[in-house]
Amino acid sequence: MTPVVELRQVTKTYPGGVTALHSVSLTIEAGELVAVVGPSGSGKSTLLHMMGTLDRPSDGTVLIGGRDVARLSDRRLSGLRARRIGFVFQAFHLAPGVTALGNVADGLLYTGLLAGRRREMAREALERVGLGHRVTHRPHELSGGERQRVAIARAVAGRPELLLADEPTGNLDSASGAGVLDLLRELASGGTTVVLITHDRDIAATLPRQVRMHDGQIVHDGAASLEVTR
């Protein structure tokens, strides 16, 4: 089966000569639940940008579903991203005056679907994350954990193959954070490939695979239980 994401010897150097990734290779298969863990400056956010096609590598190859993103025009790349990848961030990025249903439906604006179908899919996604009873509530009427669930619902409403979650528990208390982690596990068990970016080793230790980063390199990959010499 074709991996959902594959990076081959990917390097990313920014203007000024700062290299955030050094020849990183990583393969993530369908249905995996992976933690990418490391301190600030380790390269984990840049790795997320590579996997999410938000940035292009300076060298090396990024494949999404077997497709080399370097061969795609910006338009086709945007289409691939919209169909295959969902994003969740530490900040919820919800429109303050809009209901949960509206926030999730608005995430489907670029799919070309009619408004009625977008709202139907949004309702299904909210039910999937346990918020079917909160669809008419606005962000200020929801707890932090519920707002993050709305953000997750928005990310998965189009049923992407890959969900990239960047510090999704960073703004939450421990109980709400645990609930979000349980939800990510449920999504993975349902077939969504989930990659969680975190600086928290305790969180990473609860997931089945850990990819540990340091100074722009992968120094440990828990799937193989192998330390990689830097």
- The whole-number average pLDDT for the span 89-116 is 92
Is the pLDDT confidence value at 224 over 70? Answer: no
- Domain 31-52+75-227 fold is Rossmann fold (3.40.50)
| CA 92 to chain CA centroid, nearest Å | 13
Q: Domain-by-domain residue ranges, the chain?
A: 31-52+75-227
Separation of alpha carbons 13 and 153, rounded Å: 34
Residue 121, Cβ density class (10 Å: 0-12 exposed, 13-18 middle, ≥19 buried): buried
Task: Give φ, ψ of 20 to 5 degrees.
Answer: -90, -30
In the prediction, which pLDDT does 223 show?
56
Mean local confidence (pLDDT), 136-148 = 96
Separation CA 64–CA 193 (nearest Å):
12
Q: Give CA–CA dist 185/179, Å, rounded.
A: 10
User: 169-207: per-residue pLDDT in tens?
Assistant: 888 888 888 999 999 999 999 999 999 999 999 999 999
- What one-character-per-residue DSSP string does 43-105 give? SHHHHHHHHTTSS--SEEEEEETTEEGGGS-HHHHHHHHHHHEEEEESS----TTS-HHHHHH
pLDDT of residue 113: 86
Instruction: Pick 228 or 2 by higher pLDDT.
Output: 2
